[in-house]
Amino acid sequence: MPRFDVNFADPKRYFYPGETVAGTLTVRVDEPMRTKKITLEFEGKSHVSWMTGHGKDSKFHWNSEVYFKHKDILLPPTSPPEEGIPLQVGDYTYPFQYQLPKSLPPSFIAPITSGYVQYCMNVTVEDIELSAPHHPDSQIHFKVVPTPVDLNETPQLLEPRSETVEKFLCCLCCESGPIRLRAELQKQAFQGGEHLVFSFEHDNKTTNKSLRKVEARLMQRVTFYSSSREETQEFTISSEVLSEDVPPGSEGAWKDASLTIPPDTEPNFECKCMLVEYYFEVSVDIESAFDPKVIFPITIVNGVRTTQPGLMGAENGISNADTVVYHSEYLSQTADLPPSSGQSSGLESQPANHLPPAHPPPPYSAHSPPSNLHNRPPSMPAIIQQPPSLENKDFIS
């Protein structure tokens, strides 16, 4: 079986929607063979699948969407094609190029459920001795990232946001007073690798409960859509314990605390198969009581330009100086595909079974999603809006 190497013309090895994927494909033949033709197919698609129920009540749910599929014949067949084309031992190099559609969701693989947005090139060398159709000999993955956005065009995401919550920890007849939490974010949109700066205060002076832990967390919420059902999963992206074993009748404050957003954090996006959104929370762990928390929806984008406002007043040491951040080095360093995506860098060929595990679905044309699900095509402006499923909820619990 031949081996394959890909050399992308653009060394960054990731692509924006609308850009051209170009380079050369080298087919390495280790022993003489005859081939019908050599084809290279560009493909972009998303897929989700999961099971519900148990035993006889189990049900399989799935959804998929194809964004593009384009095939080029690198080595055309001879006439008559049955004779084949002889390939001697050696390297055969072919140029390729394909312009991506202008509206695409970013590459993504779900942590647990079989769900992904994937872009790849399928290489097939049709051996003259094989009469039956066969799968591509190799799938070479490449990454699609969102076009960098200017958040100055959406100033509402650059504004500070604060929340305060008071919660009684026992019944009304109890003498214990409420615990009071207050948190503030300096802005509501971030990029991977950035520090999420926040301030937080808790007032536990009127309660008789100790706080086992005070913790800040960045959470990812992924909602999967099938033709008849939704499935939501949440994952902790980053966390920081602010304090532990806080005695009753005390208070605490953290100014300009920070939580690092991992560089490979995928941006907010929505497509036919899934919705990816984020929220930031600070919670207190109280024994024998419901844990109160303050929650903020946030937006993760790619390559932003921001003017950062102050946080809880200028006395906290944060100025209103402009901070200009475009598509920065951290993404170049992780451009091979972040560990969370589980894909190949595209520099070496991968076997055809490199896809995430998924049950083979029935023909997609036989199904259509219900009108009440999120069926709009992916668009870049949607990336910098507030997450729809968080925007209309009460964020204080």
Sequence spans of domains, the chain: 3-144, 157-300
- Alpha-carbon distance of 117 to 124, in angstroms, equals 22
Asked if 3-144 and 157-300 have one fold, the answer is yes
* Among the listed residues 19, 33, 124, 133, the one whose alpha carbon sits nearest the alpha carbon of residue 73: 124
Q: What is the pLDDT of residue 185?
A: 94
Question: What are the pLDDT digits (tens) for 280-289?
Answer: 999 888 876 6
- Alpha-carbon distance of 351 to 343, in angstroms, equals 12
23-32, 88-97, 214-223, 242-251: least confidently modelled range: 242-251
Q: Which residues contact 298 (CB under 8 A, 6 or more apart)?
A: 185, 188, 189, 190, 196, 218, 278, 279, 280
Q: Helix (H, G, I), strand (E, B), or coil: what is residue 364?
A: helix
Residue 221 has pLDDT above 90, yes or no: yes
Question: What are the pLDDT digits (tens) for 226-271?
Answer: 988 999 999 999 999 988 888 877 888 999 999 999 998 999 999 9
Question: What are the pLDDT digits (tens) for 111-141?
Answer: 887 899 999 999 998 877 765 555 567 889 9
Beta-bridge partner residues of 290? none
Q: What is the pLDDT of residue 131?
A: 59
Question: What are the pLDDT digits (tens) for 147-167?
Answer: 888 888 888 999 999 999 888
Question: What is the average pLDDT score of the chain?
Answer: 76
Query: What's the CA dihedral at 72, 77, 79, 82 to 10 degrees?
Result: -140
- The one-letter code for the residue type at 259 is L
Beta-bridge partner residues of 38? 75, 125
Architecture of domain 3-144: Sandwich (2.60)
Q: Which residue has the higher pLDDT, 169 or 210?
A: 210
Largest CA distance in the chain: 93
Q: CATH class for domain 157-300?
A: mainly beta
* Among the listed residues 315, 282, 307, 306, the one whose alpha carbon sits nearest the alpha carbon of residue 296: 282
